[in-house]
Amino acid sequence: MKVLIQDNLSAFLDCTDDSCSAEYKEYIEKLMNDFSVYHSFEHVEEGYNLTIPAQKIVIPEWEMNQLFHDVLCYFKYVIEYASLGGEGCDFSIDLYSAK
């Protein structure tokens, strides 16, 4: 499966209610690194800013499901079907920042 992130995506992870512990940040870091997704975390007073720059992500469907469920759920974006094609790609989408 392919996802083409067309714009930089940014999200704030609010840590004032213990919803994002240091262990959760480490989990997100590991997931992003395992899936080779470029990203940056910036620690701010009450949480983290997570940024994913524009890029193409090509990973198996079950990993993409995990990426959407555990990480991309924090971002606001518009999703469109993309006809990217290529070997082993049955489905591909574009993500645009919803700003």
Q: Are 8 and 50 in contact (CB under 8 A)?
A: no
DSSP annotation of 17 reads T
Distances 90 to 1, 25, 31, 81 between C-alpha atoms, Å: 7, 32, 23, 12
Q: pLDDT tens across 40-73, in order?
A: 988 888 888 999 999 999 888 899 899 999 999 8
- Chain centroid to Cα 49, Å, comes to 13
Residue 89 confidence (pLDDT): 60
* Total structural domains within the chain: 1
The enclosing domain of 17 has a CATH number of 3.30.70
Residue 94 confidence (pLDDT): 84
- Whole-model pTM: value is 0.84
Which residue type occupies 60?
P
For the chain, the average pLDDT equals 85
Judged by DSSP in three states, 37 sits in coil
- Chain centroid to Cα 38, Å, comes to 9
Domain that holds residue 12: 2-97
